[in-house]
């Protein structure tokens, strides 16, 4: 069933505007510039889109192709500078199958100000991106160039792009212990949907466990849930108090610095893993206990004193980026505003 989401404020005409749209399951969000995110949850039980038509940008050959639920059938009048779909930049002209009445908007990059480097438009200005083997920076920044990690406001000031956190692998993590997050972790069931890229072959992605007294021996059956990479392969491990289960996704390596989406589901003792909509694998934990009871909160990307925290299961956090983390199909964990952030940075696409 269709649903629509509107920005909080009207879009400013005649100025560059950054719009971010995302959907995970039934949850969709819309962000315009620095305005608060607007979210909407589609009714019903279906969580997958079925889109048989091509992607059209700026308009369509016929208004008959539009859904009758659309509020307007007018084509867009203006300029579109960049389209990034699932973290991949689309070549607006180079990849287009065709176009009608499309003109050049005009930009400083047309004068090739970066020489042999790649000129990337960024609103009214541009960045120069070094090609492999070229020295950095290339060329040296001047009054018209800005760093890749910032955006320029129309009044000339700068603000930072919505944060997609990156992790260094060493004492680098986000921490959450709010009630909304933890009630989705501590239960009989958990559904984790996340998107990440990693350049390290091993590292912790998610952890929730039990606090341990430094003077006491850790109970080998303490409850925990861990998701991470082991020699390039995704591994889910958990203990509900009556024995540990380990589920390893051996069908594809994920340490290729490319974006991957994974889904980890635990329903009482049974659990499954799916990577990039591939074939799922499943396992079950031993014993009779069915509920996860942890009290450390949720660590993302790593954990403090990671060897001790994870009982030696991991020695470092992930080296890479995490762009989405959704629990139970409808709760998006705020990666840009954690309860605590330690040694994290903004991910550069």
Q: Could you report the per-residue pLDDT of 201-239, keeping only the tens digit for each?
A: 999 999 999 886 655 555 677 899 999 999 999 999 999
Sign of CA dihedral 143, 149, 151, 156: negative
Which of 318-349 are b and which e, b meaning 16 or more Cβ less than 10 Å from the residue's Cβ?
bbbbbbbbbbbebbbbbbeebeebbebebbee
Least confident of 44-48, 53-57, 229-233: 44-48
Could you give the 3-state DSSP secondary structure of residue 181?
helix
Strand partners for 119: 128
Query: Domain boundaries in the chain?
Result: 108-160, 166-346
Q: Which of 288, 315, 345 is nearest to 207 (CA)?
A: 315
Written out in words, the top-level CATH class of the domain with range 166-346 is mainly beta
- Tell me if the bond preceding 139 is cis, omega within 30° of 0: yes
Question: Tens digit of pLDDT for each residue in 63-118?
Answer: 888 888 787 788 888 888 888 888 788 888 777 777 788 877 877 777 777 777 77
For residue 108, give both structure tokens.
Answer: 């400083």
Percent of the chain with pLDDT over 90: 33
In sequence order, the β-bridge partners of residue 32 are 19
CA atoms within 13 A on the CB side of 60: 13
Model-wide pTM > 0.75: no
């Amino acid at each position: 069933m269709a649903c629509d989401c509107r920005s909080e404020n009207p879009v400013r005409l005649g100025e560059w505007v950054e719009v971010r749209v995302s959907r995970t399951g039934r949850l969709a969000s819309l962000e315009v510039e620095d305005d608060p995110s607007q979210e909407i949850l589609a009714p019903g039980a279906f969580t997958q889109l079925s889109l048989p038509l091509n992607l059209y940008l700026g308009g369509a050959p016929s208004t008959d192709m539009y859904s009758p639920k659309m509020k307007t059938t007018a084509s867009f009048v203006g300029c579109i500078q960049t389209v990034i779909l699932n973290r991949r930049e689309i070549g607006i002209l180079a990849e287009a199958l065709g176009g009608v009445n499309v003109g050049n908007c005009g930009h400083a990059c047309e004068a090739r100000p970066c020489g042999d480097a790649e000129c990337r438009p960024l609103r009214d200005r541009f960045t120069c991106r070094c090609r492999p083997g070229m020295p950095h920076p290339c060329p040296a920044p001047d009054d018209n160039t800005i760093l890749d990690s910032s955006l320029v406001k129309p009044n000339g000031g700068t603000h930072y792009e919505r944060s997609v956190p990156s992790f260094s692998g060493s004492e680098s993590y986000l921490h959450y212990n709010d009630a909304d997050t933890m009630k989705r972790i501590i239960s009989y069931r958990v559904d984790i949907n996340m998107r990440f890229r990693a350049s390290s072959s091993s590292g912790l992605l998610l952890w929730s466990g039990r606090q341990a007294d430094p003077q006491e021996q850790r109970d080998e059956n303490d409850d925990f849930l861990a998701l991470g990479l082991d020699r390039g392969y995704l591994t889910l491990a958990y203990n509900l108090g009556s024995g540990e289960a380990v589920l390893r996704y051996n069908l594809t390596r994920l340490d290729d610095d490319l974006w991957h989406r994974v889904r980890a589901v635990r329903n009482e003792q049974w659990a499954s893993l799916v990577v990039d909509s591939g074939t799922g694998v499943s396992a079950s934990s031993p014993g009779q206990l069915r509920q996860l009871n942890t009290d450390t909160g949720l660590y993302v990307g790593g954990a403090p004193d990671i060897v001790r925290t994870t009982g030696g299961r991991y020695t470092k956090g992930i080296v890479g980026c995490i762009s989405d983390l959704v629990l139970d199909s409808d709760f998006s964990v705020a990666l840009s505003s954690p309860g605590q952030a330690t040694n994290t940075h903004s991910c550069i696409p």
